[in-house]
Amino acid sequence: MSEGSGSLYSDWKKLYPRYQSGFFRNLRWSLILLWLGIYYILPFIRWERPGNLPNQAVLFDLPERKFYIFDLVVWPQEIFLLALLLIAAALGLFFITALAGRVFCGYMCFQTVWTDLFLQVERWFEGNRKRRIKLDQSPWNLDKVLRKLGKHVTWLLIGLATAGVFVFYFADAPTLLWGFLTGDAPFAAWMTLLFLTLTTYLMAGFAREQVCIYMCPYARFQGAMFDDDTIIVAYHPELGEPRQVNRRKRLTAREPVGLCIDCRECVTVCPTGIDIRNGQQYECITCGSCIDACNSVKDKLHLDNELIRYTSLREMRGEKTHWFRFRILAYGTLLLVFLGGIVGYFFQRSMVELNVVHHRQPTFISLSDGGVQNNFTIRVLNMSGSRQTYRLEVSELPGASLKVAAVDAVDQAGHPLLTLEPGEVAPYTVYLKQEARHVQPGSQEMTFRLAALDPKGGESLYHSVFMRR
């Protein structure tokens, strides 16, 4: 670059957002307490399950490849549900964005939640905005060291608690907690704890608005989902302009002046440091802090007009916002379809799964009595919450008889009975024989049927082939 050209990058300047009470601030605190309460408490809730299944209400058991969510157990072969859930989450985000802009960022995003929590800790130790600025500009002394040290230690403790609770979702929480206290926790748990503690400390304590502005991809493509009817936080220039700084002159001036007194309160409370009066900006996370700030000034001046409010571009033009439009209906419909598909699957899924593998060495066995025998390995998975006994039979193969190795129990019709505990997976070797008088050249399709004696245990079918000479 030539000496006369400027840099493409600007230096980062630390922001000191001022705390502003108000309706939207109270709403955010209520939601923050709700999200944090759910996050920190959920792993410690106990949930009774039959058999040897874990009693943690929400547990993502990666070694066993099972997800426990209260009475719901998701098995490894149902991993496709994760893809459906991710698609539904993306559609939900698109739906919220098209409807109300970046309201997810302002009220639900984990970066926003923990940043607000860290800012509150900073206010406890260092005071309000003016005191924080003065403290950072002052020379180091004992008071400054103690305040800074207290703040950073508290941040690290919050990061440690955040990381610890996250790890508890993947192991029995009380057991792992005791492991951390005694030093017996697995190495992977320690590394995860260290990594998440540091990332929480850095992202919520230092990066803050830079995550929302530079790192989050959502800020970059959100504009593609906006339209004139999307609800956003906006400044109304037709009410506020032209600005008049001198309020005494405002009261005596004959020429018309706007209601904005250029107090910059909306700027000092903004967590991303933007001026909402400059129009729509991708840095805005729709938190409503500027609305609370402007309304507080408005109340002091006894003004009824809201210069900054949740509105739409169409409403700002004096028209009526269209709530039911194609984009909203499309996102909402697709979201309901995917969520309905997930719920529907759990309502109709069988509580038992049967897999069958045909032995290839040999493909079939010719018996001395003229019959033919095929050998199979079957795998039975009991996905119910109780002990189940299953009847194994085969259909569409005349003259067939079944025998399961190491299983002597049969029903009155001679069908083998297999008993499994809840959550148990068991392999069996099956010998399937066809009588000589029914043997015909070539292979024949047939179906294994595994049905629980208890109707709630479900049944499973598996189509296979019986091989013959």
Q: According to the model, what pLDDT value does residue 254 have?
A: 59
What is the C-alpha separation between 366 and 209, in angstroms, rounded?
75
Burial class (CB within 10 angstroms; exposed 0-12, middle 13-18, buried 19+) of 413: exposed
E strands, 58-100, where?
58-61, 66-69, 72-74
Token digits of residue 413 = 């019709």
Q: According to the model, what pLDDT value does residue 23 have?
A: 93
AA letter at 334? L
pTM confidence score: 0.81
AA letter at 62? L
pLDDT in tens, 243-272: 776 555 555 555 677 888 888 999 999 999
Q: According to the model, what pLDDT value does residue 2 have?
A: 45
C-beta separation of 214 from 233 below 8 A: no
Q: According to the model, what pLDDT value does residue 335 have?
A: 94
Q: According to the model, what pLDDT value does residue 375 have?
A: 94
C-beta separation of 15 from 271 below 8 A: yes
Spell out the domain ranges in the chain: 227-316, 352-466
Regions of the chain with pLDDT less than 70: 1-10, 51, 245-255
What is the C-alpha separation between 236 and 384, in angstroms, rounded?
59
Ramachandran bin of 398, using left for φ above 0, alpha for ψ from -120 to 50, beta for the remaining angles? beta
Select from 3.30.70.20, 2.60.40.10, 2.40.50.140, 3.90.79.10 the CATH code of 352-466. 2.60.40.10
What is the C-alpha separation between 349 and 460, in angstroms, rounded?
10
Q: According to the model, what pLDDT value does residue 8 have?
A: 62
Q: According to the model, what pLDDT value does residue 418 have?
A: 94
pLDDT in tens, 432-454: 999 988 888 888 999 999 999 98
